[in-house]
Every structure is written in C-alpha cells, then in structure tokens.
Structure 1
C-alpha cells in the first residue's frame, strides 16, 4: 500500500506542472495567414500532458478494469485481500481526479486562450481531447460533469444525463470536424502534438473513429442514433484509422509504461488467468509479445508447451510471494515511450460488428474480422496469423491455480478462431468481441464497455466476491457494472450527486447499477 501512496503523490506532483473565426469572403471558417505568424506556445504547451493523462495507472487501470476483465491479476493481498479486485471499493477517485485535474482544467484554459489569442483551431483541438477524456470517464461512472464544467457560483454543479452527454459529444464532433476540414493544411499543432505531429488529416481520422466507437456503445439502448452516427463515420471522406501507421499513440513523456513499473519495479501485477485461458487455449502468437514465460515448470504442468501462468480476477491470496513467480508482462514494455490509444484493429472489429448489424458502408463481417486479427498481429510483431485464422479446433482452456484450487475455473467460452459463415450472428459477435478483447491489451477500458453491453468475451466471475451494501451487491451470477461517484463529490456536491443517481437505471449510486447503454437484454440482435 506504501507504493500506492507514493504513486498517488507522484501523480499529484506531475499533474501540478502542468472565437470566433475572422470573417473571410471565400470561407468564413478559414484562418488567415496573420494568425499563423503567432507563437503558439501559450495555447499549445498543455497538450502533451493532456494526452498523457487520457490513460490511467495502477489504481484506475490495473486494480480496476485490467483486473475485472482478466488481463492482469495482482499477487498482492491489498487491505486483507478485500479491495476493488474482489468488488469491495478501496480506490474510487484516481481517474476522476486525473481527468478533471489534468485534462478538463488545462483544456478549459486552452479554450479560453484560443478565443483571446484568436487561435480557434487550438480550441477545437482541446475540445476533441476533452471528448476523448470524458468518453472514457463516463464509461466508468456513468453520469459525469461536462456541460456544466467550469461554471461559477456557489450552487450545485449538475451532472449530465448519459443520453444528453452522448448527444452533446456527437454535436461537438460535428462542429470540430467542420472547422478542421476547413483548415486541412494548418500546421500550428505540429510542435505540440506527440501523437500525429500536427497532421490534421490524421486527427480527422481519429475523430471519425471516436464517433464510430461511441456509436457502437449505444447500439442496444438507442439503435437509431447508433446507426446514424456509425454510418456517418463510415461514410465520411476523411476516413477512419485503417492502418497501423495511423494508430493513435499516446506519449509517456519520459515516464515508464505503467504496467511495466507495476510488474517489474513493484511486483504488484501479473498476467491474468483469463488471458492465460484464451491465449494458451487458442495458441495465440501474441502471448509472447504481451507476457514473459515462467521459469518454474511446476506452475504450468497443465500446458507445459506454453509456459505462461496468470492470476484469477478477485483471487484468494494469502501471501504475495506465492504468485510473484507467475508471468510478468513482456520485458519489451520497459523501453516503450508511447502507448496505444486507438488502433486500426479496433476499427476493423467495429466494422465487423457493424456489418453484422447491417450498417451501410461497413463491408463484409468476415473480411473485417480477419483484417482485425491481422492488423493486431502485425501491430504487436507476432507471427503465425495465417495458421491462427484457420484454426477451427483450439478452444480456451480451463484454469488451474497451483497455489490455491479455490481460484480454478472452467472456461465459459468454447469458441474457436476460424470464421464460419454458418454460425449465428450471436456466435459471430462473440468471436468478433473476443478477438477485439485479445487485441486491446494495455488499452482495456473498451473491453469492459464491450463486455457490459454484449456479454462478450465470456469471462469467469471473480473467485472471491466481497461486495456488500457499503458499495452495492454484485450477485454470484453477475459482474461489477461501474464505479460509484467519488467521495469528494458525494460530500461537496451532494445534491447534484443525488440527482445524478436518479439518472442511473436502478436509481442507486452503487457498483451494481447498469450504465445507460448497458441494457439487460440477453440477445444482441
């Protein structure tokens, strides 16, 4: 726990460092050469920090949805082995504080300065980064403060209903897109942009990709809006992220990749048992790019040809040293300086799902599915994709914990990799989402979104369920649905939190309340 405290202090110290268009006859949105002559440091210097803080760290990723989705497991029995990983909340506000302190706050300053200095595109860029941030935060908590963020006064700062929030984000994406397209040759972002080097064409591809991602979230709760927005993204001339060269990579700004630090420096995270079940069972060549083999052969007697061992989500853990010998992440993560924020493989899988749903412009489901797998293997530098794609026999394996049989589980999924046109749409969707899950290692929030909205991939329940009325009860046949509103808001903005709770399907601010788009409908079609 000392390491957790030191990490939080480091984040706080790190984070602390941190109009309108002129009238032109030919194009009212065109920026004049006069504006291009200005020094943009005042409005541009915050972007690398904002982009870095779009992603989380130990508390908000590794001990939450990384663990809940079985990507990673902790060998450490934090707080007597009763914590977020076992559905009793100890850490709630890390990502909330990160987004509001290190993205929303500096973006507000940029937007105001952009008006003052007559640099409107910087304001649009900041608004797009805001959408990236808030679309992640709402996937964790549900209602969030967005439309009313930064309002003055002593009254409550109201939360956005999720339905209103998504409509607002789509509207803002329209406005940002119009302005970026009107200034497609603009180069003012270049020295401040660690992701795309100021290339407006690539930011437009990302914008369409974000629209597509958000549209698919709503496919069950609001299918008409989902289809309209999804088809709009598919049809836009600017295109979507379609090659690995176009992947949206986020800067680490000289920091160590979080999952590497947690795994190697702290020994507080290891491979997840669910990843072991899928990747070993399906003979997935990416496993060596994600994780290291164990040195102790006695840990993998059930599959000695694949020397990888994971920890189950919400595991029964007595002593940390028992599972430190399990698989760490790949040593390659020690040297990376960027992390994946949005990839071409995710778009291919989104297109595969859209094709199943009959969206115009989505193409063929099988082609997109196989393209998604190929893009992911290429992105990670893994071999063997051709054999992998035609494998119609290998299936996820059951999991055995050599240290405690209470953590064992029988694989819930029986899928194979090879595409079969004769399968039902439901089974095809399971394959698509499972491969999307395997492709999005180190960028795992969307996998938790997909799981809640579709039920795929089929993952085991936590071994040890400590949920109780304090934070909400997750029944034995269910999984955690959200994080509650943060303590500072519960006390300092209580009336707004009370209203926001009524926006949730259950009317209760607890971990069992489904988000707006997380319907209880069993069938996806």
Structure 2
C-alpha cells in the first residue's frame, strides 16, 4: 500500500473540537445512525437503550482499529509500530526508501494515529455515552464503557507516556496532560466502578442481557465482562511490578478475589471482537498488500521449539530454494523492493486461514491471564491459584487449546532440550544473528528468578500473538523474550540498539495545536521526547 500517500492524509483531531461542542457530536456517522436515519426521538429509543447502545460498536471496533474497514489506519495505529517492535512481524516493503519506523527513523506522519484514532473513536463515544446519562440511567452500560475505555486507552499511554485523560473535555481550547501514574491510578478507579456496577446489576437482574444487541465480544453476558474487567486489572497490576509494587500487589489481590467475579480462564472466554461487518485488517495487509511478514524473532523461537502452533500463525515460504520452510525477516533490515522478501513466511491466511477476512480480532486471551498469575506467584503475590509451575503450564495448555492442538501440549511442556535458533538471511548475510537466548520450555523449579521470569514471559509472548501492542509493552517492562535488535538503527543515537525502542514521540499535530500541554507532558515524561526515553513503569534495570 502507498504509505507515502497515507501519511499526508489529515488526522481526525477532534479532542479540542469535541470539547468545544460540549461533546454534542462524537462522529457524524453515529449521530446519523442515532437520529437522522430514524423517525424516533431519544425518549422513544430509551426503552431498548438504543440512545446509548449505538455508540458501542464504534468503540469496540476502534481499540484494535478497523471501525471503517479502511485497514490503512490500523496499519499506522499498530502494525508498523507495535506489531513489529514486539518481534511478531516485519514488513517486506521498503517504505520511504528504508527510512521509517522499522529502523527507528520515526515517521511523524504515521505515529500520531494511535493517538488520534483513540480519541476520535474511543474517548469521544465514551464521553457521549456519559453525556446521555448512562452513569445514572444505565450503570451496566456505563460499566462496559469504562472497561472498553481502559482497554483502549491503556494502549495509548503505553505508547506515548503522559496523555490527556482525567481532564478530557473540560477545556474548549486545550487538552490537559496527566502523568502516566495518574492515568494508571484512574484506570484502577474506573475498573472499580465497572465491577461494582456489573455485580449490582447481575444481583438485581440475574440472566438479563440488555447489552446483547450491541455486544461484539460476549453476546451480552455480563459475567464475562466482569471477568474481562478483573483480568484487565491483573494485566495493569503487573505493569506496576518495577515502579509501584505495593499498589500492583493490592490491585492484583482485587483481581483474583473470587467475590469480584473471577478471571478469564478458558479459550471460550477470550476477548475477541467480531460482527457489525468488521474485517480483520491483517488479512488485507497480508494477502492483498503483501505488506507484512514473519519477524525473525518468531522464526527463532517457534521453529527452534518445534512449536505446533507455528503453521497456525504463519504460512511457509514461497521463496524458491527455501523448500517451504518458515523464514522471517529481521527488523531493521534494508529490504529490497518487492518482490524481494515477499516470498518469506506471511501470516497464515492460506494453509490455516487463521487471518481470514471475517476472523475475530483478539484483544486478550485467557492464556495471557494464566501467565500473569504465574508471574504474580513468582513474585510472591498471594492467591494466584496455584504454584508457579502449575500456572505456567496452565498458560501453555490454554493456548494450545485455543489453537486446537491441545493433544500436543504435554510433549511440548516436557521438552527440556529445544532452544531458539540463530537467524540466517539467505538474501543478505549482513542480517544474520546468533540466537539471543538458550531458554528452554520445561519448567525448572531450581532455576533463578530471572530464568523463571524469562521462561514465563517467553511462553506468554507466544500465547499473546498476534496482539503486538501488549507483547511490545511487556517486552519493555521485563526485557523478555530476548528479541533480535534492529539491523540498522537510524535514530541518530536517540534509541539504544541494545535495549530497543521504548516509546513513540508525541504526535506532531499535538505539538502544533497543543504546544504548552505537550511541553508539560515532556516534563512529566522525565526525559526527551524521543523513542529512547523509558515510560513510568519501565524501571527494570537493563
């Protein structure tokens, strides 16, 4: 796809505009859907909650963005950022003459999209739901809005650091930034409200599903939304392990408290978005545009481990001479013009049809939660539900069940010899690299804390695929798995090749229209506005 054209398209910078309009119209499409195309007044729509429910498909479709099925917006929101920085994917397209995000020459015209899309299509509609009176009139709907808001916006703060959050919509001229600690603390408060509201509704109206017709995830089942809220809290609690461990431990205790409704445990509870015509953007990016392929790090681990999930994640090569093997591209390589590397392994859309056009979009898996519990237990946090080994192995078996290869899990778990492989680029030996680690699969209770942590995070990284945003975030937090560094680092010494990219610069449009607040945000960040400055929770020594 022609990214040089896309990068010149204007942003949907509505944060100040929405505030100026008193949050009166989030998007034209939803106002039209909610009023113009019907003969019903808002009062007439209240009995079936259409007056607030109509905003939710937009919100759910915009976290992993493909609300309009345009796909290129997702490509800039996540695919050419986190999907590649996570070690999952790499592009065979030499965008901008191989001067782009993938070798740390950060492209301002690309990197504002995680910000603009989230404020236009998550924060804006949630604010509309609030303006319609959902807090009081439909506290169950408000609970879902808060869960989705936290799920959507934690991704944004984990990309940039400080963001506008607690004062969103208060000013008609500026968007006030919060430091990341304040944002995270607000997330926990909002999850408190969501859990309280859902528990109260379920106790008063057991079995009722008023949200069902708007639900793209759980079919209106509030018990699963409650588990999602608790699981999201556990995810964010572990994020605090190196910066506010006492707070993280306390939030984890809330998450695992059975009185609060439980956690995601099985693949049937995975958080997957589908319906309302949404298409999986990775299908188009892979099959039609040939813009994304396997990352060399995935080849190293999955091939090295003889992982049964490999053919469900990726298609084998079509490159002559490679014999249908699996071959990735190392991030930061100077790829040649297409079809140079397009014959290397792509996301699985041919042999396994994993990335079919109508495939559901994954936000969170139950396997991830078992690995979070394993890490919590490793850290000595109470009530995680088993020993570290039991929880680690449960994470693996749950992931294998998700991918319908459960019968192969016992042999995989018992494998004490398979290791990640060195990388060999058959087109350019300059991209070759030795294996980054010798970590094996089988649990070893006599290993050091760091070896145990690496083992947990490596298997968690595989299980989270293809959700690159969470994988990149956890890599930055823990240093695991050990990924191949970029071949060419064009950051002008602002990003350390060894520890890799830590964040994305504040958006250019924000620097232009909200300059004073962005200057404050840089102060809150605690370092220069570059890709090398660590975020608030990124405190583990390297």
Q: Provide TM-score, normalisation by structure 1.
A: 0.90
Q: Report the CA distance between 1:5 and its aligned residue.
A: 4.2
Q: Report the CA distance between 1:500 and its aligned residue.
A: 0.8
Are the aligned partners of 2:302 and 2:310 in contact in 1 as well (CA < 8 Å)?
yes
Name 1:474's counterpart in structure 2.
495
Name 2:447's counterpart in structure 1.
423
Where do 5+ consecutive residues of structure 1 fail to align? 19-33, 301-305
**From 198, 210, 231, the counterpart of 1:180:** 198
Q: Distance in 2 between matches of 1:354 and 1:116?
A: 33
Q: Distance in 2 between matches of 1:399 and 1:35?
A: 63
Name 1:307's counterpart in structure 2.
325
Q: Distance in 2 between matches of 1:290 and 1:402?
A: 22
Classify the secondary structure of the residue corresponding to 1:172.
Answer: helix
Are the aligned partners of 2:505 and 2:531 in contact in 1 as well (CA < 8 Å)?
yes
Q: Distance in 2 between matches of 1:258 and 1:115?
A: 31
**From 76, 79, 92, the counterpart of 1:62:** 79
Higher mean C-alpha deviation, range 113-122 or range 249-258: 113-122
Name 2:508's counterpart in structure 1.
487
Number of residue-to-residue matches in the alignment: 496
1:498 aligns with 2:519: yes
Q: Distance in 1 between matches of 2:275 and 2:359?
A: 5
Name 1:87's counterpart in structure 2.
104
1:72 aligns with 2:89: yes
Pairing of 1:104-183 with structure 2 (within 5 A):
104-115=123-134, 118-154=137-173, 156-183=174-201
Q: Distance in 1 between matches of 2:342 and 2:136?
A: 54
Higher mean C-alpha deviation, range 339-348 or range 114-123: 114-123
Q: Report the CA distance between 1:414 and its aligned residue.
A: 0.6
Q: Report the CA distance between 1:460 and its aligned residue.
A: 1.3
Q: Against the structure 1 CA distance between its residues 346 and 116, is the aligned structure 2 distance closer, same or farther, given a 3 Å change threshold?
A: closer
Q: Against the structure 1 CA distance between its residues 36 and 234, is the aligned structure 2 distance closer, same or farther, given a 3 Å change threshold?
A: farther
1:48 aligns with 2:57: yes
1:341 aligns with 2:360: no
Q: Distance in 1 between matches of 2:86 and 2:293?
A: 13
Q: Distance in 2 between matches of 1:292 and 1:229?
A: 40
1:17 aligns with 2:12: no
Name 2:252's counterpart in structure 1.
230
Q: Distance in 1 between matches of 2:330 and 2:276?
A: 32
Q: Distance in 2 between matches of 1:199 and 1:104?
A: 23
Q: Distance in 2 between matches of 1:326 and 1:16?
A: 42
**From 274, 278, 283, the counterpart of 2:297:** 274
1:2 aligns with 2:2: yes
Are the aligned partners of 2:503 and 2:530 in contact in 1 as well (CA < 8 Å)?
yes
Q: Distance in 2 between matches of 1:183 and 1:476?
A: 51
Q: Distance in 2 between matches of 1:253 and 1:401?
A: 42
Where do 5+ consecutive residues of structure 2 fail to align? 13-25, 31-42, 66-73
Are the aligned partners of 2:147 and 2:194 in contact in 1 as well (CA < 8 Å)?
yes
Q: Against the structure 1 CA distance between its residues 201 and 278, is the aligned structure 2 distance closer, same or farther, given a 3 Å change threshold?
A: same
Q: Distance in 2 between matches of 1:227 and 1:111?
A: 31
**From 38, 41, 48, the counterpart of 2:47:** 38
Classify the secondary structure of the residue corresponding to 1:17.
Answer: helix
Q: Report the CA distance between 1:180 and its aligned residue.
A: 1.2
Q: Against the structure 1 CA distance between its residues 388 and 513, is the aligned structure 2 distance closer, same or farther, given a 3 Å change threshold?
A: same
Q: Distance in 2 between matches of 1:11 and 1:271?
A: 29
Q: Report the CA distance between 1:116 and its aligned residue.
A: 9.1
Classify the secondary structure of the residue corresponding to 2:272.
Answer: strand
Q: Distance in 2 between matches of 1:288 and 1:71?
A: 14
Q: Distance in 2 between matches of 1:486 and 1:380?
A: 37
**From 271, 274, 292, the counterpart of 1:248:** 271
CA deviations over 1:123-158 (Å, ceiling 9, x no partner): 23212211111111111111111111111333x321
1:206 aligns with 2:228: yes
Classify the secondary structure of the residue corresponding to 1:232.
Answer: helix
Q: Report the CA distance between 1:297 and its aligned residue.
A: 5.5
CA deviations over 1:147-173 (Å, ceiling 9, x no partner): 11111333x321111111111111121
CA deviations over 1:460-487 (Å, ceiling 9, x no partner): 110111102xxx7112322001011111
Higher mean C-alpha deviation, range 254-263 or range 310-319: 254-263
Classify the secondary structure of the residue corresponding to 1:152.
Answer: coil
Pairing of 1:450-461 with structure 2 (within 5 A):
450-461=474-485
RMSD between aligned residues? 2.3
Name 2:381's counterpart in structure 1.
359
Classify the secondary structure of the residue corresponding to 1:38.
Answer: helix
Q: Report the CA distance between 1:227 and its aligned residue.
A: 0.5
